[in-house]
Amino acid sequence: MTKINLSTLQAMKQRGEKIAMTTVYDACFAQVQTQAGVEVLLVGDSLGMVLQGNDSTVPVTIEQMVYHTRCVKQGAGNALILADMPFMGAATVEMCLSHCQQLMQAGAHIIKLEGDAWLAETIQQLARNGVPVCAHLGLTPQSVNVFGGYKVQGRSDVQAQTLLAAAQQLEEAGAAMLLVECIPAELTQKLTKRSKIPVIGIGAGPHCDGQVLVMHDLLGITPGKPARFVKNFMQGEESIASAFENYVKAVKEGSFPAAEHGFE
């Protein structure tokens, strides 16, 4: 795989070639996933749940995100590293700039911020300082206490219009990528058509420029009942490496996600 950067992803969107993204938290899995053809490695704050055993991502700290980003960097090869800003990490622009500096100096190429249209000013400041941003919209897990659970977003017309307007505002502010979680497939389709930047989905249907899955879900080792949008790619496979290869293939050929993984 040649070195992946934002221009590579932009060109993939234009060609209609799907982008494969997975979460990862250490060097060993970073290497396996990159060799399987994953273009973007997300050092997700989901580590608070899948590694630390918490019931949300809220307890994750900037020090922990920096540590795991540094670990992933060691095995990432030519993949692009996207690192999560933890809960309240972008509460002020100054705080956000300092956290981005730490994450990028640890190896991140782009930073993911959960939020809404209010992030526009922060994204402008980050863009001026050489920090590319992926804006995470829809079900933003850090706001689980506001949503009252992990619920599908953007179902009403008002919610859908608000999300589309926020995405446009954030793109105009300089966002380099959008990630949408648990929104109806039809809304993702509209958003992907309108956006000039790559749109990555999770529980957002097949009509985006790429897909992301939490690696523990992909390998079928998350305890409890899997979410509707999850597929266990380890089933029928002999090795972890082939499970990741199978995921990449399914994303590229458009067989994942299928209709049953999405929301109407």
Instruction: Tell me if residue 181 is catalytic.
Output: yes
Cα separation, 20 vs 228, whole angstroms: 19
Q: Applying CB under 6 A, what is the total number of residues that bind ligand KIV?
A: 11
Measured from the CB atom, is 39 or 45 closer to ligand KIV?
45
Helix 93-105 to helix 62-75 angle (10° resolution) is 30
- Which residue do the tokens 């523990």 mark? 216
Query: Does 214 engage in binding with ligand KIV (CB under 6 A)?
Result: yes
Nearest approach, Cβ of 15 to ligand KIV (angstroms)?
A: 24
For residues 136 and 207, which CB has a smaller minimum distance to ligand KIV in the complex? 136
Asked if residue 19 lies in contact with residue 39, where contact means CB atoms within 8 angstroms, the answer is yes
Q: Does 86 participate in binding ligand KIV (rule CB under 6 A)?
A: no
Interface with ligand KIV, residue 41, by CB under 6 A: no
Task: Pick the stretch among 24-32, 39-47, 100-108, 219-227 that binds ligand KIV (CB under 6 A).
Answer: 39-47
- What residues are paired with 137 via a beta bridge? 180
Is there binding between residue 40 and ligand KIV (CB under 6 A)? no
Catalytic, out of 94, 181, 260, 264: 181
Region near ligand KIV per CB under 6 A, out of 1-9, 42-50, 89-97, 223-231? 42-50
**The only residue of 9, 20, 45, 197 in contact with ligand KIV, by rule CB under 6 A:** 45
What is the spatial distance between Cα 145 and Cα 148, in angstroms, rounded to a whole number?
5
* 212 in contact with ligand KIV (CB under 6 A): yes
Q: Does 46 bind ligand KIV (CB under 6 A)?
A: yes
Return all residues near 130 (Cβ < 8 A) that are at least 6 apart: none
Cβ 50 vs Cβ 33: under 8 Å: no
- Choose between 128 and 228: whose C-beta lies nearer to ligand KIV: 228
Question: Contact with ligand KIV (CB under 6 A): which of 22, 23, 122, 188?
Answer: 23
Cα separations in angstroms, 86 against 46, 66, 138, 150, 154: 10, 10, 17, 17, 23
Does residue 84 belong to the site contacting ligand KIV (CB under 6 A)?
yes
DSSP state of 227: P
Question: Distance between CA 242 and CA 36 in Å, rounded?
Answer: 8
Query: How is residue 259 annotated by DSSP?
Result: G
Question: Please, what's the largest Cα pairwise distance for the chain?
Answer: 49
DSSP 202: E
Report the residue from 19, 30, 44, 247 that binds ligand KIV according to the rule CB under 6 A: 44
Residues marked active site are found at 181
Contact residues toward ligand KIV (CB under 6 A) are 23, 42, 44-46, 84, 179, 181, 202, 212, 214
